[in-house]
Structure 1
Amino acid sequence: MKIIIETPQLELWRIEEAFSNLPHVHEDRLQLTIPTKGICYLTQENKDYGIRDGHGLLQYSAQEHSFRIGEDSSVIVIQIRNDRPSDFFREPEVDFAMQQTFDPSLIMKQFQSWSSELFRGDPADPLAVDETESRVLSFLYYSLKGSHAINGGNPVPFSAPGDGLTSSDRHMTRVLDYIHASYTDRINIDTLAAIALQSRFHFIRTFKAYTHKTPYQYVLGLRMEEAKKQLRQGGCTITQMSVKLGFSSTSQFYRAFLKAVGVTPEEFRTSSSR
């Protein structure tokens, strides 16, 4: 079995079969190779490694490498494109150790969670994809050994809405104003993070600390409230509504509405008209 999932910033591989590739380099990305069962035989910069489950090996950009596994082994490969100026994985800003250790069961669980989010979510909605990417990067940042300083993982503090606003709070208020004005459009994390004057890495955590929701959950909440309002009023087909609310397809709107409200849009419209 081989699963490959691609997003703008990541490639996630899960290989559970005999596999080998030729020596190659990646000019614009980091790669993390993590055996989850058995042994992965990896050659990197003309050195041979036999890495077992529970360990991992990091390949920086331009480092030649190749690997092979047997039929009874499995491996997860995470490739991170490091061509964004604000990306904390860019060298030489962060120096991660080449050899890493991982809990194989945790890596498998995380991979299943990430892939499930990407398969269930709206692939055309950049905010949904951005959030999953950020979760992957955040997990790796706090799991990898290296020179990077960790501040305890605490997001930048914010006051509760309505309290006396700090400068940081005012930036977050501007973010919310932007979301409320644009929630039916295609919004991405980079735009919201720029308004908040934060890196995308820290923005999602601080946004959730402020609103108790991720940006995508917040946007979906606004879309669902508007959907319920339009369903009560009538005069608009479900297809027209899904387009107006920024969904890439009617099926995506159906799934989101059913999950959020507990009934289909038609069932909600019928019950509201009684």
Structure 2
Amino acid sequence: MQTAQFKTNGVFDALLRGPSISSASSRGLNWNGYVTERHRAEGFERPEAVSDRYIVALWTMLPPICEYADVPGQFVKHRKPPRAIVLAPPGIIPAIRPHGQGDFILCALEPEFVNSVEVELDQRPNAEILYRRDFVHPAFARLMELLSAEANQGGPLGRLYADHLANALAMQLLHLGSQARKNKTDKVSVLPSHRLRRVIERMQDLQVDLDLQTLAVESGYSRSHFLRMFKGSMGCTPHRYLLQLRLERAKEMLRQRKWLLSDIAVICGFSSHAHLTKVFRDVVGVSPSEYRRLL
């Protein structure tokens, strides 16, 4: 778990516009196209700013009363709802006067990343993504919380898991900016057997930290199509399937009774002995040590 650090600059400057205490940062985890951090900032007037990326803020504690410059030079007082979300696309971010401390999860998505997700959608959004503030969206909030938790723990579930969350976050962002909705009667597609075989063979190397883009390239499809077709073929996401492969290999090694748990964790692609134990207990119902004793 990460310790808090004092920050005065970074990818979230356009939204923070001043010093803050940061934690749970994904910087250094080799995530491409997106960053998440938690921040705590004191209440002070923040002037109008310009952002070059998509920034989303989720207020994690009861938000303070804020004043927004809805009209240049004129501030209007507004009370935020619990778990309020602010969505700021590239462009101008209005001035704000918070009347107290703010605690929030921040996610920044590079325009190139969002565009790459957009071109993969079957039905592309039909409206521009605009600045929105103080709306509540449980699914969007949950994705941000999961991504933040993964960053706070140092990325133990791997880049594939983080990519999956960020991809879903970008799709939510795109649909929030439009009225486009997928046809619920779309036929479920599956991966051709030879391509599915190639993907699964790639996943057999359990010690490699695979990402979503690598598997999509292996399949010959875009990330969004690959995700949908893999689930149509296997009944689960790529991350869930990879986790099952790792657990089955761990069970096999436990049955051999000659491996240390720390060695099993490394060979099966878990980030640590503790990570193996937690996932094993969550899925199997007992710890690896208990599983071996019960054999």
Shared fold per TM-score greater than 0.5: yes
2:80 pairs, out of 53, 70, 74, with 53
Match of 1:10 among 29, 35, 41: 35
1:131 CA drift (Å): 2.2
Preserved CA contact (<8 Å) 2:105 2:145: no
User: Which blocks of at least 5 consecutive residues in structure 1 are unaligned?
Assistant: 160-166
Match of 2:183 in 1: 152
Describe the superposition over 1:246-269 as per-residue Cα deviations: whole angstroms up to 9, x where unpaired.
122111111111112211211112
Is the 2:159–2:211 contact (alpha carbons within 8 Å) kept by the matching residues of 1?
Answer: yes
TM-score under structure 1 length normalisation: 0.72
Q: How far has the Cα of 1:120 moved from its partner? A: 6.3
Q: Distance in 2 between matches of 1:109 and 1:132?
A: 10
Tell me how far apart the structure 2 counterparts of residues 12 and 202 of structure 1 sit (CA, whole Å): 29
Q: How many correspondences in the alignment? A: 259
Q: Structure 2: where are the runs of 5+ without partners?
A: 1-19, 120-125
CA deviation after TM superposition for structure 1 residue 270, in Å = 1.8
- Structure 1 residues 183, 67: CA separation in 2 closer, same or farther (over 3 Å shift)? farther
TM-score, normalised via structure 2 length = 0.68
CA distance in 2, matches of 1:149, 1:105: 19
* Higher mean C-alpha displacement, 182-191 vs 119-128: 119-128
Q: Is the 8 A contact 1:31 1:58 kept in 2?
A: yes
Matched, 1:227 2:253: no
Give the whole-Å Cα distance in 2 for the aligned partners of 1:137 and 1:227: 34
Distance 1:74 1:194 in 2: 39
- Partner of 1:79: helix, strand, or coil? strand
Question: Are the aligned partners of 1:155 and 1:205 in contact in 2 as well (CA < 8 Å)?
Answer: no
CA distance, structure 2, for counterparts of residue 71 and residue 221 of structure 1: 46
**Does the 8 A contact of 1:40 with 1:73 survive in 2?**
no
The 5 Å alignment of 1:24-173 reads 24-27=49-52, 29-33=53-57, 37=63, 39-42=65-68, 50=76, 53=80, 58-63=87-92, 66-71=95-100, 77-84=106-113, 86-88=116-118, 95-99=128-132, 102-103=135-136, 111-116=144-149, 119=152, 122-123=155-156, 125-142=158-175, 144-146=176-178, 149-152=180-183, 157-159=188-190, 168=192, 170-173=194-197
Give the 3-state SS of the residue equivalent to 2:92 in structure 1: coil
For residues 174-213 of structure 1, the aligned pairs below 5 Å read: 174-179=198-203, 181-213=204-236
**In the alignment, residue 202 of structure 2 is paired with which amino acid?**
Y
Q: Give the C-alpha shift of residue 12 in structure 1.
A: 5.0
Find the aligned partners of 1:112 and 1:236 in 2 and give their Cα distance: 36
